[in-house]
Protein backbone atom coordinates (compact mmCIF):
# COMPACT_ATOMS: atom_id res chain seq x y z
CA UNK A 1 0.00 0.00 0.00
CA UNK A 2 1.39 3.38 -1.06
CA UNK A 3 0.97 6.63 0.84
CA UNK A 4 -1.06 9.34 -0.96
CA UNK A 5 1.98 11.60 -1.12
CA UNK A 6 3.73 9.15 -3.45
CA UNK A 7 0.87 9.44 -5.95
CA UNK A 8 0.86 13.23 -6.13
CA UNK A 9 2.48 14.81 -9.14
CA UNK A 10 5.77 16.43 -8.34
CA UNK A 11 6.06 20.10 -9.19
CA UNK A 12 7.74 20.63 -12.55
CA UNK A 13 10.07 23.22 -11.10
CA UNK A 14 11.18 24.65 -7.79
CA UNK A 15 9.27 27.83 -8.67
CA UNK A 16 5.99 25.94 -8.85
CA UNK A 17 6.68 24.26 -5.53
CA UNK A 18 7.29 27.55 -3.71
CA UNK A 19 4.94 29.96 -5.50
CA UNK A 20 2.06 31.22 -3.41
CA UNK A 21 1.00 34.19 -5.52
CA UNK A 22 -1.73 33.44 -8.09
CA UNK A 23 -0.14 36.02 -10.41
CA UNK A 24 3.28 34.37 -10.15
CA UNK A 25 1.75 30.91 -10.48
CA UNK A 26 -0.09 31.83 -13.65
CA UNK A 27 3.07 33.33 -15.15
CA UNK A 28 5.02 30.18 -14.31
CA UNK A 29 2.32 28.09 -15.94
CA UNK A 30 2.49 30.16 -19.12
CA UNK A 31 6.24 29.91 -19.46
CA UNK A 32 6.53 26.24 -18.56
CA UNK A 33 3.56 24.78 -20.37
CA UNK A 34 2.86 26.94 -23.38
CA UNK A 35 6.43 28.01 -24.16
CA UNK A 36 5.46 31.44 -25.42
CA UNK A 37 8.01 34.12 -26.14
CA UNK A 38 6.63 37.23 -24.48
CA UNK A 39 7.70 40.81 -25.14
CA UNK A 40 5.47 43.83 -24.46
CA UNK A 41 5.50 47.03 -26.49
CA UNK A 42 3.43 50.13 -25.81
CA UNK A 43 2.90 53.75 -26.76
CA UNK A 44 2.39 56.64 -24.30
CA UNK A 45 0.50 55.17 -21.31
CA UNK A 46 1.38 51.75 -22.73
CA UNK A 47 5.06 52.75 -22.81
CA UNK A 48 5.05 53.33 -19.06
CA UNK A 49 3.13 50.10 -18.60
CA UNK A 50 5.75 48.26 -20.65
CA UNK A 51 8.47 49.35 -18.19
CA UNK A 52 6.28 48.22 -15.27
CA UNK A 53 5.42 44.89 -16.90
CA UNK A 54 9.12 44.11 -17.44
CA UNK A 55 9.69 44.91 -13.77
CA UNK A 56 6.79 42.74 -12.60
CA UNK A 57 6.95 39.63 -14.78
CA UNK A 58 10.07 37.51 -15.17
CA UNK A 59 8.77 35.75 -18.30
CA UNK A 60 9.20 38.74 -20.59
CA UNK A 61 12.29 38.60 -22.82
CA UNK A 62 12.39 42.32 -23.60
CA UNK A 63 10.14 45.34 -23.90
CA UNK A 64 9.91 48.50 -25.98
CA UNK A 65 8.44 51.67 -24.51
CA UNK A 66 7.47 54.48 -26.88
CA UNK A 67 7.35 57.72 -24.86
CA UNK A 68 5.82 56.53 -21.59
CA UNK A 69 6.04 58.02 -18.10
CA UNK A 70 8.97 56.75 -16.05
CA UNK A 71 9.20 58.90 -12.91
CA UNK A 72 6.71 60.43 -10.47
CA UNK A 73 5.77 64.07 -11.01
CA UNK A 74 7.57 66.68 -8.92
CA UNK A 75 4.37 67.07 -6.88
CA UNK A 76 4.61 63.40 -5.90
CA UNK A 77 1.35 62.39 -7.56
CA UNK A 78 -0.72 59.44 -6.41
CA UNK A 79 1.23 57.68 -3.62
CA UNK A 80 -0.27 54.33 -4.69
CA UNK A 81 0.86 54.59 -8.31
CA UNK A 82 3.83 52.49 -9.40
CA UNK A 83 6.69 54.19 -11.26
CA UNK A 84 9.34 52.50 -13.42
CA UNK A 85 12.18 54.55 -11.93
CA UNK A 86 11.23 53.50 -8.39
CA UNK A 87 11.05 49.82 -9.38
CA UNK A 88 14.14 49.77 -11.62
CA UNK A 89 15.85 47.24 -9.36
CA UNK A 90 13.11 44.73 -10.14
CA UNK A 91 13.62 44.93 -13.91
CA UNK A 92 13.64 41.36 -15.27
CA UNK A 93 13.84 42.14 -18.98
CA UNK A 94 15.74 44.73 -20.95
CA UNK A 95 13.70 47.68 -22.17
CA UNK A 96 14.33 49.94 -25.13
CA UNK A 97 12.84 53.38 -24.53
CA UNK A 98 12.12 55.58 -27.55
CA UNK A 99 11.50 59.23 -26.62
CA UNK A 100 11.30 62.59 -28.33
CA UNK A 101 13.40 65.45 -26.93
CA UNK A 102 10.51 67.86 -27.56
CA UNK A 103 8.17 65.75 -25.40
CA UNK A 104 7.57 66.98 -21.84
CA UNK A 105 8.27 63.43 -20.66
CA UNK A 106 11.86 63.74 -21.88
CA UNK A 107 12.72 65.71 -18.74
CA UNK A 108 12.44 62.44 -16.79
CA UNK A 109 15.01 60.57 -18.90
CA UNK A 110 18.07 61.50 -16.79
CA UNK A 111 16.33 60.30 -13.60
CA UNK A 112 15.38 57.00 -15.25
CA UNK A 113 18.90 56.50 -16.59
CA UNK A 114 20.27 57.17 -13.09
CA UNK A 115 17.82 54.67 -11.56
CA UNK A 116 18.84 52.01 -14.09
CA UNK A 117 22.56 52.67 -13.51
CA UNK A 118 22.16 52.59 -9.72
CA UNK A 119 20.57 49.14 -10.02
CA UNK A 120 23.18 47.91 -12.55
CA UNK A 121 20.49 47.44 -15.22
CA UNK A 122 22.85 48.18 -18.09
CA UNK A 123 21.08 46.19 -20.82
CA UNK A 124 18.23 48.70 -21.12
CA UNK A 125 18.61 51.73 -23.36
CA UNK A 126 16.79 55.01 -23.88
CA UNK A 127 17.05 56.61 -27.31
CA UNK A 128 16.16 60.31 -27.60
CA UNK A 129 15.22 61.78 -30.97
CA UNK A 130 16.18 65.51 -30.96
CA UNK A 131 13.50 66.63 -33.44
CA UNK A 132 10.64 64.49 -32.13
CA UNK A 133 7.83 65.29 -29.74
CA UNK A 134 5.27 63.16 -27.94
CA UNK A 135 3.46 60.78 -30.28
CA UNK A 136 6.10 60.94 -32.98
CA UNK A 137 5.12 57.47 -34.22
CA UNK A 138 1.39 58.28 -34.51
CA UNK A 139 0.87 59.07 -38.19
CA UNK A 140 -2.57 60.57 -37.47
CA UNK A 141 -1.13 63.31 -35.22
CA UNK A 142 0.58 66.60 -36.00
CA UNK A 143 3.56 65.38 -33.94
CA UNK A 144 4.23 62.52 -36.38
CA UNK A 145 7.87 62.39 -37.47
CA UNK A 146 8.26 59.84 -40.29
CA UNK A 147 12.06 59.60 -40.16
CA UNK A 148 12.20 59.06 -36.38
CA UNK A 149 9.19 56.71 -36.43
CA UNK A 150 10.87 54.60 -39.11
CA UNK A 151 14.19 54.56 -37.24
CA UNK A 152 12.44 53.69 -33.97
CA UNK A 153 10.56 50.81 -35.59
CA UNK A 154 13.80 49.41 -37.02
CA UNK A 155 15.49 49.75 -33.61
CA UNK A 156 12.53 48.01 -31.96
CA UNK A 157 12.72 45.04 -34.34
CA UNK A 158 16.51 44.79 -33.88
CA UNK A 159 16.18 45.03 -30.08
CA UNK A 160 13.58 42.29 -29.98
CA UNK A 161 15.66 40.10 -32.30
CA UNK A 162 18.75 40.61 -30.11
CA UNK A 163 16.72 39.34 -27.15
CA UNK A 164 15.32 36.25 -28.84
CA UNK A 165 12.01 37.73 -29.92
CA UNK A 166 11.47 37.27 -33.63
CA UNK A 167 8.29 39.13 -34.60
CA UNK A 168 6.11 37.34 -37.10
CA UNK A 169 2.77 38.05 -38.67
CA UNK A 170 -0.25 36.71 -36.85
CA UNK A 171 -2.06 34.11 -38.93
CA UNK A 172 -5.18 32.83 -37.19
CA UNK A 173 -6.12 29.25 -37.91
CA UNK A 174 -9.62 28.86 -39.26
State the pLDDT at residue 170.
Answer: 66
Stretch 7-34: mean pLDDT: 42
* Residue 82, Cβ density class (10 Å: 0-12 exposed, 13-18 middle, ≥19 buried): middle
Residue 134 annotated in active site: yes
pLDDT band at 128 (very low <50, low <70, confident <90, very high): very high
Residues forming a β-bridge with 65? 42, 97
State the pLDDT at residue 37.
Answer: 78
**What would the pLDDT profile of 49-106 be if each residue is shown by its tens digit?**
999 999 999 999 999 999 989 999 888 778 888 999 999 999 999 999 999 999 999 9
State the pLDDT at residue 83.
Answer: 94
Stretch 129-145: mean pLDDT: 95
Q: Tell which wins on pLDDT, 128 or 168.
A: 128
- Helix and strand totals (H; E) in the chain: 5, 4
Q: Which residue in 59, 78, 134, 139 is the catalytic one? A: 134
State the pLDDT at residue 166.
Answer: 81
Residue 54 annotated in active site: no
Highest mean pLDDT, choosing among 15-29, 77-91, 114-128:
114-128
Mean pLDDT score of the chain: 82
By the 8 A CB rule, do 100 and 148 touch?
A: yes
State the pLDDT at residue 107.
Answer: 92
Q: Which residue in 54, 103, 148, 163 is the catalytic one? A: 103
In this structure, which long-range contacts are made by residues 38-44, counting pairs with CB atoms below 8 Å and at least 24 apart in sequence?
39/63, 39/64, 39/93, 39/160, 39/163, 39/165, 40/64, 41/65, 41/66, 41/156, 42/66, 42/68, 43/67, 43/68, 43/135, 43/137, 43/138, 44/68, 44/134, 44/135
Backbone CA torsion sign across 160, 55, 111, 118: negative
Residue 1 annotated in active site: no
Amino acid sequence: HHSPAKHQAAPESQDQATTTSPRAASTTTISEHVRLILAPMGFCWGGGTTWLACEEFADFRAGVAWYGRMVPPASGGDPKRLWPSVLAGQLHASVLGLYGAKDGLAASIPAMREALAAEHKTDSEIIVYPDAGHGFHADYRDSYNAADATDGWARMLAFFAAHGVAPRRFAPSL
